[in-house]
Amino acid sequence: MSELEPDWNPDGDVVPKRKRFPKWLLVGCGCGCLTIVVVLIVLGVWIGRVASEGRDPDKQWPKIAKILPFEERPTDLELQLGLSLGFLGFETYILKGDDPGYIATIQYHPNASPESMSMLFDPEGANAPFGLGQPTEGKERMLTIQGREVRALFYRGIGGQEGGEAQGPGVRVDASGESGFTLVDLRMLDPSVQEVPEEVIQDFFEHFEFGDS
């Protein structure tokens, strides 16, 4: 019986030929699903590699040295995470300091606009770019660090951030050099502290050759 002839049932009645699912559609769906699976596997491997390398001090400290040079790797600053997203023009490194406890976030944006930089240090500014949020009770101030006069923004918390007030006060320091915009954000871990002590800021930058950068 050819494919064009109708099917017959045992009673001799003609049964309309059933339409079969197009084979090309099955092949197309299979290829599409396979592509999605491959993409997810590759993405998972990439995320795993980024997370692993991001916690590797031997890989991250040399990158930090290009932004904030140092002679010897600081032994009292613990690397928490480093992310270098070159395709986004963005690098961030998170360090933890002790005695007193604080979190230092270094952000490097070689192509940041002056407007973005200004927003970060505006006490009354809107929500800041780069995921830093809007500071509460912000106070702009000039600091002298290793002979360099830099602008800083002291703040009590981050508006709209869960537990923002419970994390302690912070300060943003403009540590930009010739290579691009660099921001250092120091956040105290003790919520009872009213303001980041200036000696904490000075001690942090003592780890680096900041005056010459």
Q: What is the pLDDT of residues 65-76, one digit of tens each?
A: 999 999 999 999
Residue 41 confidence (pLDDT):
62
1 and 42 assigned to the same domain: yes
Query: Is the domain of 62 the same as that of 101?
Result: yes
Whether 34 and 62 map to the same domain: the answer is: no
For residues 67 and 61, the answer to whether their CB atoms sit within 8 Å is no
Which structural domain range is residue 134 located in?
A: 58-212
How does DSSP classify residue 90? E
pLDDT (tens digit per residue) in 139-189: 999 999 999 999 999 998 887 655 544 578 999 999 998 778 899 999 999
> Do both 34 and 128 map to the same domain?
no
CB 135 within 8 A of CB 170: yes
What is the pLDDT of the chain when averaged over all its residues? 78
Query: 165: domain CATH number?
Result: 2.60.120
**With the C-alpha atoms ordered 135, 109, 148, 202, is the resulting torsion angle positive or negative?**
positive
- 173 and 69 assigned to the same domain: yes
**Do 7 and 68 fall within a single domain?**
no
Total count of domains within the chain: 2
pLDDT at 43 over 60: no
Residue 135 has pLDDT above 50, yes or no: yes
- Boundary (domain end) residue, out of 33, 54, 75: 54
| CB-based contacts of 168, cutoff 8 Å, min separation 6 | 102, 187, 188, 189, 190, 191, 192, 193
108 and 128 in a single domain? The answer is yes
Write down the pLDDT at residue 3: 47
Task: Identify the pLDDT of residue 2.
Answer: 46
Structure confidence by residue, pLDDT tens digits, 72-113: 999 999 999 999 876 677 899 999 998 889 999 999 988 877
**What average pLDDT score do residues 123-127 get?**
67
Do 123 and 25 belong together in one domain? no
Are 81 and 166 contained in the same domain? yes
Non-local (6+) Cβ contacts of 203 within 8 A are: none
Q: Compute the Cα dihedral for 143, 73, 182, 56 and give only its sign.
A: negative
Element (H, E) at 117: helix 114-120
Cα separations (Å) of 185 from 61, 62, 143, 163, 175?
17, 20, 14, 17, 10
